[in-house]
Chain A
């Protein structure tokens, strides 16, 4: 109950802020880009991938850009959730109330993850709308897209835990964002290395459900790194002196 109240107040704090715009605007912009891309190059792309349906083509064409921008979006969400506490000196007020640090830390984590999942969910909706606007003739492969959405949510776990802790630890949000952006930009290189492909920032690159045998990488990294980094961050947060 205590946890739900903290989560509710965390959401209330974000009203009238940038956060809802990022969660809605990110996928919308991405879908817009996909629309332009397929509108202009549909014939060329379908010629290159004759075995793929239009819907699969849409996912195949867009997943890599999304995989790079998704961790950046999570970085921004985490930074904004914590930015409020630092700029408005909220930590000392919040943690001097009869709420546990466990509930505060996990509520913020859950909010960041839910917003990341919302962005992934909206991405699927906007991609569907893109296909409808482009008059794709094949039936929409709902299962394939839902699996892609689930993979994205699971892949987000590691990045959410990492960026959540960084943003809670570093008073200057720019530092946390710099690390998140660098990690996201390096994802392509991480993904090509046997060891480094388990770095959470690279996870989204393995989420696509069209001709991809490496989906287990996104799921494994998310399910292992997410909880582990969450617990490690929580342990540190509970010991932390609030100045």
Chain B
């Protein structure tokens, strides 16, 4: 039995010469919030549509709950809740009627409607027509639909799109609660790094259809580990000394970056001064997650 609840191998979608998703290898563990991050047009939605059987892959395979999609489509989708891009709802029906429709299709009792309305805090507005809902309420209705039938896996595509800060905060809290309180695995896509950073435990970064990084959130954060920024004269002598002492040194515009623990800064300073090197600037530098993401996606301008 695989340790992944969802796994793709070489997943590819090609439209003649255009390849929105190229050889994607995704690995999602049970009970985690997996952040699928990428700039607009990176291939996130196409990937999600393939994971839900809405689009046929050109190549590669998808395994969810240890079963192959599309061969076991019904078995898989019975345990998957989803919201792709904007939430789907029938505007001329009330929120409750929308959920009852999905209950009928999922062959689950209508009591489920009350449960999910409670979770998304929409009970008060359940009898209003869905078209009269605010954007945040529509988004919550979409999530409520996805939660019907107690899915093991929830796939949410940009669930905070278009929401105001309060709405974003609300959805974020909801997403973080789901694995903790209901044991649901969440696969969430976004083009906003800060969103993913706050909710995800693991992350996959996609750009132009290719997966650039996949790993723990902490692993990504380590990529931005701090270092010591130094300006000193004479410069070449400084670099030679530091390298002799075993430090990894990179030249930079301001002088050099020493890839070491910032706690070493005072030691370095003392040793350089004792070697008659004039230190004019010493500070702690580091790359933010945003820098790392931008670097990975080659300066994608959508952030």
Residues of A within 8 A of B (CB): 5-6, 8-9, 12-13, 15-17, 84, 87-90, 92-100, 239, 241-243
Select B106's contact among A8, A98, A241, beta carbons within 8 Å. Answer: A98
Say yes or no: is B92 at the interface (Cβ < 8 Å to chain A): yes
The segment from B71-79, B111-119, B184-192 found at the interface with A is: B71-79
Question: Nearest Cβ in chain A — how far from B14, in angstroms?
Answer: 12
Q: Does B55 contact A98, Cβ atoms closer than 8 Å?
A: no
Q: Complex formed: what's the CA distance from A17 to B91 in Å?
A: 11
Q: Does B105 contact A96, Cβ atoms closer than 8 Å?
A: no
Q: Does A12 contact B101, Cβ atoms closer than 8 Å?
A: yes
- Since A94-B88, A242-B55 are in contact, a sample of 20 more A-B pairs with Cβ atoms closer than 8 Å, ordered by chain A residue number, is A8-B104, A9-B101, A9-B104, A12-B97, A12-B104, A16-B93, A87-B91, A89-B86, A89-B87, A90-B90, A92-B84, A93-B88, A93-B145, A95-B53, A96-B53, A96-B80, A97-B105, A241-B49, A241-B56, A243-B55
Question: CB-nearest residue of chain B relative to A89?
Answer: B88
Question: CB-nearest residue of chain B relative to A1?
Answer: B107
Q: Does B54 contact A98, Cβ atoms closer than 8 Å?
A: no
Residues of A within 8 A of B56 (CB): 239, 241
With A5-B104, A8-B104, A13-B101 already in contact, the answer to whether A88 and B53 are too (CB < 8 A) is: no
Q: Does A243 contact B49, Cβ atoms closer than 8 Å?
A: yes
Residues of B within 8 A of A (CB): 49, 52-56, 73-75, 77-78, 80, 82, 84-93, 97, 101-102, 104-107, 145
Q: Does B101 contact A241, Cβ atoms closer than 8 Å?
A: no
Select A13's contact among B55, B78, B80, B93, beta carbons within 8 Å. Answer: B93
Majority SS of interface residues in chain B? loop
Question: Nearest Cβ in chain B — how far from A107, in angstroms?
Answer: 11
Q: Does A96 contact B89, Cβ atoms closer than 8 Å?
A: no
Q: Complex formed: what's the CA distance from A90 to B196 in Å?
A: 27
Residues of A within 8 A of B85 (CB): 89, 92
Question: CB-nearest residue of chain B relative to A87?
Answer: B91
Select A17's contact among B74, B78, B88, B92, beta carbons within 8 Å. Answer: B92
Residues of A within 8 A of B86 (CB): 89
Question: Nearest Cβ in chain B — how far from A3, in angstroms?
Answer: 11
25 contacts between A and B (CB under 8 A): A5-B105, A9-B101, A9-B104, A9-B105, A13-B101, A15-B93, A16-B92, A16-B93, A17-B92, A84-B90, A87-B91, A88-B89, A88-B90, A89-B85, A90-B90, A92-B54, A92-B85, A93-B145, A94-B105, A95-B54, A96-B77, A98-B73, A98-B77, A241-B49, A243-B55
Q: Does B88 contact A100, Cβ atoms closer than 8 Å?
A: no
Residues of A within 8 A of B102 (CB): 93, 97
Residues of B within 8 A of A87 (CB): 91
Select B49's contact among A17, A89, A92, A94, beta carbons within 8 Å. Answer: A92
Q: Does A88 contact B91, Cβ atoms closer than 8 Å?
A: yes
Residues of B within 8 A of A98 (CB): 73-75, 77-78, 105-106
Question: CB-nearest residue of chain A relative to B107?
Answer: A5
Q: Does B54 contact A96, Cβ atoms closer than 8 Å?
A: yes
Residues of A within 8 A of B80 (CB): 96
Residues of B within 8 A of A5 (CB): 104-105, 107
Of B74, B89, B102, B105, the most chain A CB neighbours within 10 A belong to B105
Q: Does A96 contact B84, Cβ atoms closer than 8 Å?
A: yes
Residues of B within 8 A of A9 (CB): 101, 104-105
Q: Complex formed: what's the CA distance from A243 to B55 in Å?
A: 8
Question: Nearest Cβ in chain A — how far from B128, in angstroms?
Answer: 14
Q: Complex formed: what's the CA distance from A93 to B56 in Å?
A: 16
Q: Does B77 contact A90, Cβ atoms closer than 8 Å?
A: no
Residues of B within 8 A of A100 (CB): 74
Q: Complex formed: what's the CA distance from A15 to B88 in Å?
A: 18
Question: CB-nearest residue of chain A relative to B129?
Answer: A16
Question: CB-nearest residue of chain B relative to A241?
Answer: B55
Q: Complex formed: what's the CA distance from A89 to B83 in Å?
A: 11
